[in-house]
A and B are shown apart, each in its own frame.
Chain A
Amino acid sequence: MKPGYVRRFSPAERLLHWVNALGFFFLLATGLILYLPRLSMLVSRRQTIQYIHFWGGVAWLVALAAVVVLGGRRLLATARELDTFDGDDLRWLRGRGAPQGRFNAGQKINAVLTAAFAVLFGASGLLLWFGEQDTRFRFASTVLLHDGLMYVSLLLLVGHLYLALIHPATRHALRGMTLGSVDAEWAARQHAKWRPD
């Protein structure tokens, strides 16, 4: 590690993030082809795209599960961090400015929602797939849930990309998610309560 830098994200954490990101963009692209009439017509091979989207989704969930299993204890500790909100987190969420740990409260909420959405995307996707073949798996609201998740995820993603790529105070965080380490001074400013190993 470069002097003056501290490690923020472990290899397992970064792998989980990028497997999730890669899967999300792949499923967004193939999903939009299924969702938008204009695109479905351009591509036209709906059966093939549907197949790719479904098995892409299965592969995404399996890959996420594999990283979680391989990450083991290290990721369990991360999950514990994301689970815990202290008084400073709640003050920070109210916009009162309070020192934050390795994850700020917004990042915790984003991570928790992303994990819950993965479960819901998977469940509703399986129901859509099997519902087409067997009416017992068909619910009137499955499409609504799957589409709604897509819209909310897109909103979260736009905010996430803005903070990670554009916003001057936070965009340095991208380095942590790619190379693993961040500038120690930046960390002390943005994540004052975090004590890097």
Chain B
Amino acid sequence: MDTPPAPEQEPRRYGRRLFLATVAGGISSLYWGKAAWDHVTGVISPVASAVAPILPSGGWRIYTISGQMPEFDPAAWRLRIGGLVEQPVSLTYDELRALPHVQQVSDFHCVTGWSVQNVRWGGVRLGDVLARARPKASGHGLRFVSMEVPYVDYLTMPQASLHDVMLAYEMDGKPLAREHGAPLRLVIPEMYGYKNVKWLGGIDVVPRAVNGYWEDLGYDRNAWVGRSNGYGA
């Protein structure tokens, strides 16, 4: 028979189209992916906040810079406050926990693009701890020293005085876990995670804030969420 094949019978090169569309969609998502995801999670926000906890990671990524996470020994650990202060202070874990307890719920944003919403932090206000050491007027910055050597980061005094800056020893109702910086981490919700120094061992009052660990690698010193590191304006 001479009947020509129906048009739908003609073989189509759909494979390469699917391949190219998938690759193009994936690469272009570098530009629209996060905005789209935020939009989706914004629209279905009750669902999204229900999904985050069942993600195996709880939404967190754990970043370290050295071979091993510092270990917390309650008997040996001290929070040392020194530098430009009238009265250097060394607090044990129990002494720290005896200070006025505060709780806050705040979002945590990583500069690499992931966020964890509504983290419940418990701990002390940074100001309450600093007051015990009485910083000198010549100190315009603070150096936060991690037990994970050589991680340090800095805040200016005005940044450190923001109302929701705290030193957290609890997260979501439990003592801070090792991977989240046990026993103590800095929490400054206005800034990206790399400013929220984990495994805190010391705070020094210094003449001015300079580059910390990640700033030396090109990240912004003033790590405002949405307004630094190429985000926002």
Q: Which residues of A contact B219 (CB under 8 A)?
A: 135
Q: Do A85 and B33 touch (CB < 8 A)? A: no
C-alpha gap A131/B229 in the complex (Å): 12
B104 at the interface (CB under 8 A from A): no
Q: Do A116 and B11 touch (CB < 8 A)? A: no
Partner of B58 from the list A34, A37, A41 (CB cut-off 8 Å) is: A37
B57 at the interface (CB under 8 A from A): yes
Q: Which residues of B contact A117 (CB under 8 A)?
A: 22, 26
Q: Which residues of A contact B29 (CB under 8 A)?
A: 141, 144-145, 148
Closest to B22 in A: A116
CB of B117, distance to nearest CB on chain A (Å)? 15
Q: Do B32 and A48 touch (CB < 8 A)? A: no
Which residues of A99-155 are within 8 A (CB) of B?
108-109, 112-113, 115-117, 119-120, 123-124, 127-128, 131-135, 138-145, 148-149
A160 at the interface (CB under 8 A from B): no
B178 at the interface (CB under 8 A from A): yes
Q: Do A140 and B113 touch (CB < 8 A)? A: yes
Q: Do A84 and B113 touch (CB < 8 A)? A: no
Partner of A36 from the list B22, B56, B68 (CB cut-off 8 Å) is: B56
Q: Do A113 and B61 touch (CB < 8 A)? A: no
- Chain A binding surface, main DSSP class: helix
C-alpha gap A149/B229 in the complex (Å): 25
Given contacts A37-B57, A138-B112, A141-B32, contact A85 B12 (CB under 8 A): yes
- Chain B binding surface, main DSSP class: loop
Q: Which residues of A contact B15 (CB under 8 A)?
A: 79, 82-85, 108, 112
CB of A58, distance to nearest CB on chain B (Å)? 19
Q: Do B178 and A41 touch (CB < 8 A)? A: yes
Identify which of A45, A87, A133 gathers the most chain B CB atoms within 10 Å of its CB. A87
Q: Which residues of A contact B178 (CB under 8 A)?
A: 41
Q: Do A45 and B30 touch (CB < 8 A)? A: no
Q: Do A83 and B13 touch (CB < 8 A)? A: yes
Closest to B5 in A: A87
Q: Do B11 and A112 touch (CB < 8 A)? A: no
Q: Do B113 and A120 touch (CB < 8 A)? A: no
Which residues of B37-67 are within 8 A (CB) of A?
37, 56-58, 60-67
Given contacts A35-B61, A48-B67, A123-B27, contact A87 B6 (CB under 8 A): yes
Given contacts A46-B64, A113-B18, A139-B113, contact A133 B217 (CB under 8 A): yes
Q: Do A83 and B16 touch (CB < 8 A)? A: yes
A170 at the interface (CB under 8 A from B): no
Closest to B71 in A: A44
Q: Do B9 and A86 touch (CB < 8 A)? A: yes
Q: Which residues of B contact A87 (CB under 8 A)?
A: 6, 8-10
CB of A172, distance to nearest CB on chain B (Å)? 25
Q: Do A143 and B65 touch (CB < 8 A)? A: no
Q: Which residues of B contact A (CB under 8 A)?
A: 6, 8-16, 18-19, 22-23, 26-27, 29-34, 37, 56-58, 60-69, 111-114, 177-180, 217-219, 229-231
| A–B Cβ pairs within 8 angstroms, 20 of them | A35-B57, A37-B180, A38-B179, A44-B67, A46-B63, A46-B64, A47-B65, A84-B13, A87-B9, A87-B10, A116-B23, A120-B23, A120-B26, A123-B27, A139-B30, A141-B30, A143-B113, A144-B29, A145-B30, A149-B26
Known: A145-B33, A148-B33. 10 other contacts (CB 8 A): A35-B61, A46-B62, A84-B15, A86-B11, A90-B8, A116-B26, A127-B30, A138-B112, A139-B31, A143-B61
